[in-house]
Structures are given as structure tokens and as C-alpha cells.
Amino acid sequence: MTISSLDFGAAPHARLNDRADLRRHVEEVVKRTPVIDLHTHLYAPEFGALSLSGIDELLTYHYLVAETFRSARISYESFWRMSRAEQADLVWRTLFVENTPVSEAARGVVTVLDAFGLDTAAEDLHEAREFFRGQNAAEHLGRVLGLAGVSDVVMTNDPFDAQEARVWEGDGGIDRRFRAALRMDRLINGWESAAAELAGRGFGVDAGFGGATAAEVRRFLDVWIERMRPLYMAVSLPDDFNYPGGDARDRVIREVVLPTAREHSLPFALMVGVRRGVNPALRMAGDGVGRADVSAVERLCAENADVRFLATFLSRENQHELCVSARKFPNLLPFGCWWFLNNPSIVSEITAERIELLGTSFIPQHSDARILEQLVYKWKHSRRSIANALADSYERLLESGRAVTRAEVERDVTRMFSGNFRAWVGMGAEAGEARAVEVLAAE
Ligand code: FIX
Ligand code: ZN
């Protein structure tokens, strides 16, 4: 179903004066409106083994691995020695059988199993494994996107990754529902080794930024932009990120990324506040959070008024400041409730705060899904919190003397779920809207 064909069987311009009608309509529109998922770690089917799906992958998601170590008596070494299926069995037994799966990540698996009609309280993974093994991949992908109400999935694409490169360099196309985002972490956060890698590939790059280094790195990026046609460039940044920083990161941003953003008219997404490897023994599950300095992003926005920035902060403490910064800089678009913030209590709080300070000029959520079926739970859970926050704000407006119409609710949700992103990245309506998206989320 496309958004333009949403039909609620009632006059679109009738004012919703009744609170119960109002809430019901908001919930319905939020459930049914297709969303562009602007940041995921999913891959199009053409990427083969990089594209993760199924119960063993769902259960060994790094969020659940971290939680398992809190309840299971097992050493890191023993856990990492296990096969993926053995790890999944342990996670299931620990978090779903011996404990009640009330954490957000654990409940997410329950939501997924339930969506596919599977036993959510099974003693083992037999039934779930059979189910996922029996799915036709293409049909299953369509079903998941439909259940989640996702029209377009934006991937995270690393130009230094050899596995990805093989696909990008091949001559087959990529599923049109998947779009690229050019991830800059290796260049921006690991400059020394990125410089060595580029030099090894024949680019005239040296770690001291001598000669034509900046021009050569830009030449490397130009090639990848041509290949991937990304919607934006992105980087994750630590809690102590500063700008100006007087370091290699500063030079890469200033001399490579910002000129590339201008030349290709590509927005630059900043994901700030991650403390990588707080507990390395947990491997991918070992990253933490720290409060960052939002004024660094303000300075980037002020100095580069002609560049469009997307920004998300990992610390709850930074959320209000980010809203205030966005009020000051029209070239700054806050997005998502990232990672440790993607819990109903915090999504509700952040969404309410953003509506109060920014109206509908922000992007409420992205999924960060790594495993295909996570789209189902992440969007179902987020939609519920977003609907509540939005309904509360319309109710307050009603108290002040202004009832909204059905059409206004649809306009607002469409703006937040796809319109703001489309406008920011210059993405035409042809992608998500013209293609029929069967939104099953409402059922
Ligand atoms: O940097 C990122 O894009 C993060 O989202 C990931 O690194 C993180 O591991 C994650 O999956 C969070 O949801
Ligand atoms: Zn991510």
C-alpha cells in the first residue's frame, strides 16, 4: 500500500475533536505509514553471506550477547569457542527459558517469533530453526519489509571492506529497495592505517598529509561514490569528539569529507558518543556510551552552512542540547534514538522532547537492524512510542483550541517517516512511494 492510497474511510479534512478518535487515528496512521529506514547494518541479497537472517543470528545479536553474560556462568573464552548455534542455544536458555525476556532486545525476539506465528515460550529452538530454514529468501524478504512497513533500507557501506567490494565491483545490480550510505569510520577514526592501505593500493597518500594526500583520498572517494551512489556519508565518533580538533581526524573531515560533501551534494551524518571497546572481551558487544560535546557539531554546522548534516547522539544527556542546536542551525537534522537509547521509555521521552522543540522537522527513528527480521520488532516497538508521543502533542493542541484533521496527521507522519529524509538527501519520490509497499504492520 502506498501512503497516498491510505484510506481510513472518513473525511480527510474533518477535525478530530474527540480524544479517543484522535488517538485511534494517530495510532493507525503511524502503524501504516511506510518508513525509510535511514541507518541499518543490513545488506541487499546480492551481498550473500553479509546479509544476515534467522533465529541463530537473531539470538547472537551483540545486544543479547552482552545480556547473556550477566546471567550465564560462562567465561568469555568458552562462549567465543562455541559455534553460532551453540551460542544461540545458550542465549535462548539463559534469557528466554531460565529468565523472563523483559529486556528490550529479548522482547524483540519474542515480537519477531510472534509475528511469524512461532512458539514464543518454546523450550528449545527446534521449531524456529525449521521455520527459518524453510523460507524462500526472496519471499521472506518481501514479507519482512511488509511486516515492518519499511519501503527503503539504507545500508552501511565500508569502501575498505573486501567482501563488499566484490559485489560493488561486479556488474550485477543491487535490489532497489536497498540504498547505500558511505561509511567513513576507517578514514576518519583510523587515519594511519587507512593512509597505509590507500598508499598500498597506489594512491599518493601519506599519513603526514604531505603532497597531494587530500586530493588523492578524494579521488578514492569519488570512485566509491560513483559505484555505490550513496545517499549520504556517515561516521561514528567518540564521546570526546571535538571540532576543531587539531588532529588527523580534523584534517580528514576538513580537507576530504567536507569538500566531498559539497562537490557531490552529499549530507554528512554524525553519530556521536560511542566509546569503542570498553570491554574488549565482549568483542562487538563491548562498546559503551559517553556524554559528548554538542557544541562541536554546532561549530561544524556554523562553519559549513552549505553542507547538510544529520546527527544522532548516543547519550541520553545530549538529547536536549541536540534539539536546541537544531533550532539554531537549519542545516542540522537530528535523527533516530540510537542503540542504547532504542528502548520504549527513552524513545518516548526523546520523541516528545523533539516534537516540543522542533515540531515535525526531525527524523524520529532508524532501526540499526543487523539481522533482517529485527526490522519487524524494531519498527513495531518504535512506532508505538512515536504514536503515543505524537498523540499526546495533538491532544495538548486540542486543549489549546486547535483540532487536527486526519489529513494533517498523515502529512505530519509522512514528513517524519520519509519526507524529511528524502528532502535532505535529494531522494525522489520514485523509490518508496511509487513501489507498492504492502504495509502489514497494521494487522
Ligand atoms: O556505529 C554504528 O553504526 C553502531 O550502530 C554499531 O556499531 C553498533 O554495533 C550497533 O549495532 C548499534 O545498534
Ligand atoms: Zn549502526
* CA-274 nearest atom, ligand 1: 1
Verify that 45 and 119 share a domain, yes or no: no
Tell me whether residue 238 is in a domain. yes
Determine the angle formed by the axes of helices 344-358 and 319-328, rounding to 10 degrees. 20
* CA-342 nearest atom, ligand 1: 13
Separation of CA 339 and ligand 1 centre (Å): 7
* CA-236 nearest atom, ligand 1: 1
- pLDDT for res 337: 99
Which ligand is located closest to the Cα atom of residue 282? Answer: 1
109: which residues sit within 8 A by CB, 6+ positions away? 58, 59, 64, 96, 101, 377
Q: Give the CA-trace dihedral at 285, 288, 294, 296, to 10 degrees.
A: -80
Verify that 360 and 245 share a domain, yes or no: yes
pTM of the entire structure? 0.96
- pLDDT for res 357: 99
What CATH number did the domain enclosing 334 receive?
Answer: 3.20.20.140
Separation of CA 17 and ligand 1 centre (Å): 42
Write the pLDDT tens digit of every residue in 408-439. Answer: 999 999 999 999 999 999 998 754 444 444 44
Asked if 60 and 38 touch (Cβ cutoff 8 Å), the reply is no
Residue with CA nearest ligand 1 atom 3: 236
- pLDDT for res 8: 57
Verify that 10 and 122 share a domain, yes or no: no
Comparing 168-172, 196-200, 415-419, which segment has the lowest mean pLDDT? Answer: 168-172
Write the pLDDT tens digit of every residue in 206-263. Answer: 999 999 999 999 999 999 999 999 999 999 999 999 999 999 999 999 999 999 999 9
Comparing 75-89, 132-146, 182-196, 420-434, which segment has the lowest mean pLDDT? Answer: 420-434
Tell me whether residue 407 is in a domain. yes
Verify that 30 and 65 share a domain, yes or no: no
Range of the structural domain that residue 39 is part of: 3-50+154-183+228-442
Which ligand is located closest to the Cα atom of residue 274? Answer: 1
Verify that 72 and 22 share a domain, yes or no: no
Tell me whether residue 200 is in a domain. no
Q: Structural domain tally of the chain?
A: 2
Verify that 34 and 84 share a domain, yes or no: no
- pLDDT for res 428: 85
Mean pLDDT of 85-93: 99
* Res. 45 pLDDT band, cuts 50 70 90: very high
- pLDDT for res 214: 98
Determine the length of the chain.
443
Tell me whether residue 140 is in a domain. no
Residue to probe by mutation, ligand 1, list 339, 340, 343, most atoms within 8 Å of CB: 339
- Lookup: cell for 139: 519471499
Tell me whether residue 219 is in a domain. no
Which residues form the pocket of ligand 1, taking CB atoms under 6 Å from any ligand atom? 41, 156, 236, 271, 339, 368, 370
Verify that 84 and 179 share a domain, yes or no: no
Verify that 437 and 335 share a domain, yes or no: yes
Tell me whether residue 306 is in a domain. yes
- pLDDT for res 2: 38
- pLDDT for res 232: 98
Verify that 337 and 416 share a domain, yes or no: yes
Backbone φ and ψ for 8, nearest 5 degrees, come out as: -100, 10
Give the percent of the chain with pLDDT over 90. 93
184-188 contacts at long range (C-beta below 8 A, 24 or more positions apart): 184/233, 184/234, 184/235, 184/252, 184/257, 185/158, 185/235, 185/236, 186/158, 186/159, 186/160, 187/217, 187/252, 187/256, 187/257, 188/235, 188/237, 188/249, 188/252, 188/253, 188/257
Separation of CA 370 and ligand 1 centre (Å): 9
Q: What is the mean pLDDT of the chain?
A: 95
Residue with CA nearest ligand 1 atom 11: 368
Verify that 390 and 345 share a domain, yes or no: yes
* CA-39 nearest atom, ligand 1: 3
Tell me whether residue 221 is in a domain. no
- pLDDT for res 378: 99
What CATH number did the domain enclosing 113 receive?
Answer: 1.10.2020.10
Separation of CA 39 and ligand 2 centre (Å): 6
* CA-284 nearest atom, ligand 1: 9
Three-class SS of residue 271?
Answer: strand
Residue to probe by mutation, ligand 1, list 60, 232, 236, 314, most atoms within 8 Å of CB: 236
| Rounded distance between C-alpha atoms, residue 154 and residue 310, angstroms | 14
Tell me whether residue 394 is in a domain. yes
Backbone φ and ψ for 359, nearest 5 degrees, come out as: 60, -125
Write the pLDDT tens digit of every residue in 301-337. Answer: 999 999 999 999 999 999 999 999 999 999 999 999 9
Verify that 266 and 373 share a domain, yes or no: yes
Give the percent of the chain with pLDDT over 70. 95
Verify that 254 and 110 share a domain, yes or no: no
Task: Tell me whether strands 332-334 and 309-313 are parallel, antiparallel or unpaired.
Answer: parallel
